Amino acid sequence: MTTDISSLTGYTQSNTGSDNSSRQTLSADMNTFLTLLTTQLKYQDPMDPMDTAEFTNQLVQYSSVEQSIQTNEKLDTLLSLNIANLGAQAVSYIGKTVQVLGDVMPLENGKAKATYTLDKDVTAVTITVKDMNGKVVYSEQGKITSGTHEFTWNGKDSNGNQLEDGAYQISVSTKVPSGETNASVMTTVFGKVTGVASDENNVYVGLGDSVTASLGDIVTIRNDDYFDKVSDSSGGEDTGNDDSGSDSDADGETGSDSETQSV
């Protein structure tokens, strides 16, 4: 297990440097402006004095810019503190199994798990697993009723060969009767958190050794032994409460294919 927290402090330092640069530039411009102003006032014609309204407006504008810079500095500080707090919170997830929104699942020790949610009943569902090169390695028929269904995979391809652990993409295509709108599909994947990292915008958790997910995409957090309960079947297995998953796309029934993958 590895935890990368160094990027959190790096983010804070990089933003502070940017703000200091803006402040220094503004200060230099302000000093130049005041020098020009005092010089012009010194050598102005007493019988035709310069209009001070424009100088006043420029001073107000400089003050407004300085206030904006100070506001940005405070917001950056709050944001960096929030990122740091989220990173500290995410560290507690290491070793836990999380469920996240997405379609790339980690195969860990020959076990992978995902869910798909249908917004309505359909006539057929095909679950396809691809490697990260886009090659289809496994497929099966899924449950056709609306709701959330689980999919488990033991990492074997369609020929029964055990594949290496790593990242695999799951896609769910549906068939609906002609004339009906396509079904909406949302997928989630499960993985054991092995590390934490961040950039200037977000905190991320590592799932296994090959998948990264945003902290904000985590849906649930499970016990450490959650994957131990995954059935060691030859392929996918729906463990949901739906008992109407038999193939119901009778011969002769026409339909339209649609595929939706969560991001």
- Record the pTM: 0.59
SS3 48: coil
Are 44 and 136 part of one and the same domain? no
Are 181 and 104 part of one and the same domain? yes
Query: Does the pLDDT at position 249 exceed 50?
Result: no
Which of 91, 118, 150 finishes a domain? 91
pLDDT at residue 80, rounded to an integer: 64
DSSP state letter for 216: G
For residue range 110-150, list pLDDT tens digits in order: 999 999 999 999 999 999 999 999 999 999 999 999 999 99
Are 78 and 197 part of one and the same domain? no
pLDDT at residue 20, rounded to an integer: 59
Residue pair 170/190 in contact (Cβ under 8 Å)? The answer is no
**127: containing domain:** 97-246+256-260
For residue range 175-185, list pLDDT tens digits in order: 999 888 989 99
Are 153 and 217 part of one and the same domain? yes
Are 152 and 239 part of one and the same domain? yes
pLDDT at residue 248, rounded to an integer: 38
Q: What is the CATH number of the domain that holds 121?
A: 2.60.40.4070
pLDDT at residue 83, rounded to an integer: 62
Are 86 and 38 part of one and the same domain? yes
Are 226 and 138 part of one and the same domain? yes
**Does residue 251 belong to any structural domain of this protein?**
no
Alpha helices in the chain (DSSP H): 6-42, 52-91
Are 87 and 107 part of one and the same domain? no
60: which 2 tokens? 């107000």
175: which 2 tokens? 């068939």
Whole-number Å distance between alpha carbons of 23 and 19: 6
Are 127 and 219 part of one and the same domain? yes
248: which 2 tokens? 């119901």
Banded model confidence at residue 163, pLDDT cuts 50, 70, 90: very high
Other Cβ atoms less than 10 A from the Cβ of 5: the count is 16
Domain count within the chain: 2
**Does residue 49 belong to any structural domain of this protein?**
yes
Are 106 and 83 part of one and the same domain? no
For residue range 187-217, list pLDDT tens digits in order: 999 999 888 887 777 888 888 888 988 888 8
Query: Does the pLDDT at position 2 exceed 70?
Result: no
Are 15 and 117 part of one and the same domain? no
SS3 44: coil
Which of 68, 91, 114 finishes a domain? 91
Are 84 and 193 part of one and the same domain? no
